[in-house]
Structure 1
């Protein structure tokens, strides 16, 4: 094919949305006497997590959200964290709570996430919010899937009546994005590691979402010409010189001449995830008044 895919620029959209959120926060603060607040809890010293948390705190600063971040030592107990979450649930200055995953092995992340009040669940992962998503009711949506839908909307990509294939079934991305696509009237297939003949499924996709975390999982022959390919994967690879870079689940250079639209990594979905976290925090705040 002579043309190459148009890139879905999540970074540019995220910057624009953050500028809009900053205006919104300024107006809300004037009206209600305080800014929205987000508490990010991080345990231990996972370098990737530390980078994500710094990124989130910087983004909060950009839009005027007060950051109540707490960094706990790796040996912090489950009980201490549950008490912290209980306190934040009852703190009127805090509108969003997020537990940065992964946690050290001795902690039960599901039990901790379930302690967060559903209305302060900035990550949209509480069973109540996942239930609202399944029922099509208003509520907090998982940040990455919501970011993908916002990116598709920005480029006026109508998913209604289209064949969507989601590769990956995690509670973080695969399952919620499938539900959001279904809600938008797509016909959705969920594929995963046990799906036989993955390329037979992906070749039918008008919209292909790759969310597994495996470099170059999606190759050129697995992509339908003219389709929309959204790469949610983030994989850190190191070259021969010891330099590391981020790549997705899609073989970008091979797929770019085939797809109509494609998200880059980095600069695609990742930037949207942080922005939707801010959006969720502001939404939670505005529901109180």
Structure 2
């Protein structure tokens, strides 16, 4: 729907059949649909990463733990992993359930709410900015803005774009593990919890040459991957390098975040009130209460 690319403006296009539940977007230069999870900066599925260098790899982490995806002087992104133990593999099946973005003296939270039976018409996305809940009407194009920060629904439910002018843009979609996914991959998902999680796409506007993190390091100039590219599933190690003490803490071993010296200090986890989230009145939006 971008008027700056008239050759494919308002042209109906079908997502490739290979695209997972995350769907696709149009590459306006080529005027072709591309799977969201196949673009550089994507973090989807079990977490499957597409690095800034175009390399595909997996980082399994560990269930109920937190890991830094990106760490730079004025941007730090942590992810909370949920999962199930697979005794036969000796590791957890994991998915990214929520992320926290720290920038300047702000923090932004995006999370998928736990749910048993999936219904895509019910919004399962929780959002907070500096500890305060963000509520969006359930309609495509609905927008919330505060200064340089904007959050826009790209679908009536479970899809948003988050952008901080001059810093980053993130696409986020809440998706479940389907019974078919569980059967094919032997996840062992039950009807009590469909393991709703986030499929994410990152675009960065001002990373430094010192950026690090699971995904961030792949954007360094001259980055050389240590992955076994010939493997069927190239896996990135470094659990201890990327592990953080909490979702809100920029304290992984490779942390670069300093934030802004202007304004109030960043609100840290010990100062964060607990949030209880659920559907809003009449099912419109998501409301989070302290």
Q: Give the TM-score normalised by structure 2.
A: 0.24
The TM-score normalised by the length of structure 1 is 0.24
Give 1 or 2: higher strand fraction: 2
- More helix by percentage: 1
